[in-house]
C-alpha cells in the first residue's frame, strides 16, 4: 500500500537546475565566474522590487537588461552584445543536478503529485525535463508568469495551489531561504535543499525539513506518514 499522496512544488533555477554553464559563460567572455552569482542576485532583486510595487516582472527581460548592465565597462573577450547573448544562451546548456532525476522518479513511483513553481518561463523547466527524459514524471509545469506575482509573494503559492487543484498536504522544495519563507507564509510545508552545507538565515521562517539532495525526499515523506 502506498503512502498518503502529497503535492510537491519544486523551485527550478538552482533547486533543480545546475547553473554552472552560466558561470562558464561569464568566464568565457572575460567577466569571471563569480559575476554569475552577482548577476543572478540582481535579477531576483529587481523582480522582487517590481512585484512589491505592483508591477509585472518578467524573468528574461530583467536577465537581459541586467546582464548588459553588469558586463558594460568590463574587459570582455567579445563585444558587449555578443557577451550578453553568450550568457543568456548558456541557459540552453543548463541541466538538472545529478540528484534530481532519480529523486523525482522515486517520488513519482511513491504516487506523489509533482509540479514546478518558478518565477521564470515554463520553457526552462520543460527543456530540462525533456533533455533528461523525465517529462512524464511531472503532474504539471507551473510558472507565475501571467498568473501571479513573483515568489515569495503569498499569492504566488496560493495561485499554484488553486491551479493544481491541491486539497491535500502540499510542500514547497527550494534551495532559496526566501522561497521557503514565502511558502510558509502561504501555509505550505517546506523542504530546504542544502547541497552546500550552508547556514539557514534566522530572519526567515525555518523550513519544515532540510535535505542535502532531492533523493532524500521520498524517505522523508514516507517517515512523515508512517
- Kindly report, residue by residue over 26-47, the tens digit of the pLDDT: 999 999 999 999 999 999 999 9
Q: What is the CATH number of domain 7-18+94-225?
A: 3.40.50.1000
Task: Determine contact, residues 165/140, Cβ cutoff 8 Å.
Answer: no
How far is it, in rounded angstroms, from Cα 197 to Cα 188? 24
Model confidence pLDDT, tens digit, residues 71-130: 998 999 999 999 999 999 998 899 999 999 999 999 999 999 999 999 999 999 999 999
pLDDT of residue 4: 82
Task: Report the sign of the C-alpha dihedral through residues 207, 208, 210, 216, in that order.
Answer: negative
pLDDT of residue 211: 98
pLDDT at 3 over 90: no
At residue 226 the predicted structure's pLDDT band, cuts being 50, 70 and 90, is low
Model confidence pLDDT, tens digit, residues 170-214: 999 999 999 999 999 999 999 999 999 999 999 999 999 999 999
How far is it, in rounded angstroms, from Cα 167 to Cα 73? 52
The DSSP result for 57-90, as a single string, is --HHHHHHHHHHHHHTTS--SS-HHHHHHHHHHG
Copy the grid coordinates of residue 60: 528574461
Model confidence pLDDT, tens digit, residues 121-164: 999 999 999 999 999 999 999 999 999 999 999 999 999 999 99
Task: Give me the residue spans of the domains in the chain.
Answer: 7-18+94-225, 20-93
pLDDT at 2 over 60: no
The closest of 149, 146, 148 to 52, measured between CA atoms, is 149
The model carries a pTM of: 0.94
User: Domain 20-93 - what CATH class?
Assistant: mainly alpha
How far is it, in rounded angstroms, from Cα 59 to Cα 63? 6
Task: Determine contact, residues 31/71, Cβ cutoff 8 Å.
Answer: yes
C-alpha dihedral over 97, 126, 171, 174, to 10 degrees?
40
Amino acid at each position: 500500500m502506498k503512502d498518503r499522496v502529497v503535492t510537491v512544488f519544486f523551485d527550478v533555477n538552482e533547486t533543480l537546475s545546475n547553473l554552472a554553464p552560466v558561470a562558464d559563460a561569464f568566464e568565457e567572455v572575460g567577466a569571471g565566474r563569480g559575476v554569475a552569482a552577482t548577476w543572478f542576485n540582481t535579477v531576483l532583486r529587481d523582480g522582487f522590487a517590481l512585484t512589491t510595487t505592483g508591477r509585472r516582472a518578467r524573468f528574461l527581460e530583467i536577465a537581459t537588461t541586467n546582464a548588459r548592465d553588469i558586463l558594460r565597462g568590463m574587459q570582455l573577450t567579445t563585444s558587449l552584445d555578443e557577451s550578453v547573448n553568450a550568457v543568456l544562451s548558456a541557459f540552453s546548456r543548463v541541466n538538472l543536478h545529478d540528484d534530481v532525476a532519480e529523486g523525482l522518479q522515486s517520488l513519482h513511483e511513491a504516487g506523489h503529485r509533482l509540479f514546478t513553481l518558478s518565477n521564470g518561463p515554463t520553457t526552462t523547466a520543460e527543456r530540462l525535463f525533456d533533455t533528461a527524459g523525465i517529462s512524464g514524471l511531472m503532474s504539471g509545469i507551473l510558472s507565475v508568469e501571467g498568473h501571479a506575482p513573483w515568489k515569495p509573494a503569498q499569492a504566488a503559492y496560493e495561485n499554484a495551489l488553486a491551479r493544481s487543484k491541491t486539497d491535500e498536504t502540499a510542500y514547497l522544495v527550494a534551495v532559496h531561504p526566501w522561497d521557503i519563507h514565502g511558502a510558509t507564509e502561504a501555509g505550505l510545508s517546506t523542504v530546504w535543499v542544502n547541497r552546500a552545507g550552508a547556514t539557514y538565515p534566522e530572519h526567515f521562517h525555518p523550513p519544515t525539513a532540510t535535505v542535502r539532495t532531492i533523493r532524500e525526499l521520498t524517505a522523508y515523506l514516507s517517515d512523515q506518514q508512517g
